[in-house]
Structure 1
Amino acid sequence: MNQNYLDVLTNDHLLIEKALLLVEKESKKADKMNVSMVKTLIEFLDAYGDKCHNMKEEKIYFPLLLERGLPPQGPIGVMLQEHQMERDFLDNLSQMIDEIEKSGELNPQFIKLVSGYEELTKSHIWKENDILYPMGKHVISPDDEIYLYDEFTKIENDTSGAGAYERYVVQINTFEKQTGQRVDLLSAISTEIMTNMLDSIPVELSFVDADDRVRYFNKIYEKKIFGRTLSVIGRTVQQCHPQKSVHLVTQIIEEMKAGKRDQASFWINFESMFVHISYYAVRNETGEYQGVVEMVHDVKPYRELEGEKRLLDEN
């Protein structure tokens, strides 16, 4: 959910990237490409990616940055040039997908066009997310933030209709399910690496599934803030908490299942530590409850920090 102007821009980018990935993967299927889906995605990239998202920047965001002192020849100038390059690609892609739809034959140039457009747009998104937007944060005031959010909402309503972003999220998520092409970064990581990665972070994690049964915890063989052994796996979470806190855990889970709550946090003094305990609902893309993650962390060292630390410690 978009909370501020920067959420609007970066969430647009994420949706555009997901559409790009779908088009790129479908185009490589050659004669088995889902032409109707690809055409719909190209229409989204044009109608929303360019005519809505890019207009938020060109009509509102870029002019405000210029007013606040950013030079027109720098990143803003580059972004404007790349917007036009994206439009040229989209014009050619739209024309070619129409021809493919009519002829039933895939033009080999289409794959090259898709590749060129994807490379340009992914690079463009990186430049905005990692360079331009952080620059903008230094010159934009709280009042500017409110203005940007309101104006972005107006542009979206005018160009795509109220709730357009949410509708496109549902549509693209549906395409990902149909094709089995939902972005899965974990597919490139082995179970061993994933286990070691989760064990390396200074947080104790537990996962309780939708049936209230404990299915996972990290740092199996390490001493924990609250003791836990492998015997808890498969047991209900109510059987794994002290009697004085069971009612709280039960209430949290019931409210998460009912959609009334997504997180809960507590902090307590425990032995020599200051312990932060938090619970986060795990849901799928349709909002269905799949379980809850518990995080336990001694935050006492962080409470003692002062000033800044920008240099690396010597070995």
Structure 2
Amino acid sequence: MANAQFNTKLINILKNILLRLHHGESPETVKEDFNQHFENVSAVEILLIVQELMSGDYGITSEDVTQLFSVYAQLYGHSINDWDIPETHHPGHPVRIFINENREFESVLNRVNNLLESIEKNRQYLQDEGMIENLKEEMTLLGQLYNHYNRKEKLFFPILERYGHYTFARIMWGEDDRIRNLYKGTKSMMEKMSDLEFKYIKKSYDLFERKFKDMIFQEESFLLPIALSIFSEDDWLAIANESDAFGYCFVEPKEEWMPKRESFGEGKSANKEIDQAAELENKHLPFGGGYLTIQEANQILNNLPLEITFVDKNGIFKYFNDKVKSSEMMFVRTPISVGRIVANCHPPKSLKKVMHLIHNLKSKRRSSESMWFKKKDQYVHVTYKGVFDEDGEYLGILEYVQDIQPFLDLPREVKKELSELDESI
């Protein structure tokens, strides 16, 4: 049965089964109904439906889903999200890194929870500076969730979209945004513990903890099994290669994962393609007021003191210059995102603003749009500009980003001469 996740009847049947479990029915009583309708539906399609239902306003919880998974295992003799693949046990594999980080997050959550429970039982601990400082340090550790979620959203989600799973990625990204906001709010409250009633801090943390643990459940019950079912080895290798740009949590992997692969690309056809590519790279082509080879044009773009991104007329993220390695970029971009619909490159909460900007630039209501902000020791200036050909036809949007702090630091005295040559060199 194909495309079960788009079959309204099956979605409603599964929703009904989950709600029956939620309201206390025994898993035994739903077995027959589940088997009748889902025996020939793939595990991936079932997981996609369940994940969407969990994110709806139906009150379905991770406990209900766990019961459903138990029903599946009893009926078919294996777990619905069984993904025990030997490669994933390597400490450098993206899946293993994800799981290890989640175990560390759970440990920190438990420590924070224990500290808060101790304070709740004995409010005198609110005067214990050592305990309060320990609590704040543990909350700071949880801030590493930004790296964890960024890798997921910028590396896993683009590949999911290539396989047609847009809704799954958008729903989970929206949940990530809510968790980030809950974290920021809770951490801010803990920074002001002496000025707030403890019960409000505890309530805020409890909500954050519940949502965070739910996301861990979703990642390991839905995201990773689905990804392992559909991602190719090349996909996992791309994620492994580009993960460093977004950072890891707690500790970096000690070993690099490299799949065992058969040699490929050998023979006459491969050599011919290499020769053709080299010939094209060195061919002079008209650019602006002169001629450049592709190699020269590429190096010029890569040596500009700007980070450049181009989105074409169809809204496809098509190009970025390779000025510095991704982890050092002001706006991190990696090859996995090339070919992605630009709307999907941004969190759901900012989608309306992104589409409004594109409309204004495309329709020439604005020729450009700029923004600027501080980022550590950089003063980041960003410009978005509509690009049109000589006939006025829209080609896309150019984004260029630069650190303008060096310009702000220039001395008042003018400098009209080149620096003198150091003859001692």
TM bucket (normalised to shorter chain) is 0.3 to 0.5
Return the TM-score normalized by structure 1: 0.46
Q: Which structure has the bigger radius of gyration?
A: 2
Q: Which has the higher contact order (CA 8 A, sep 6+)?
A: 1
Return the TM-score normalized by structure 2: 0.35
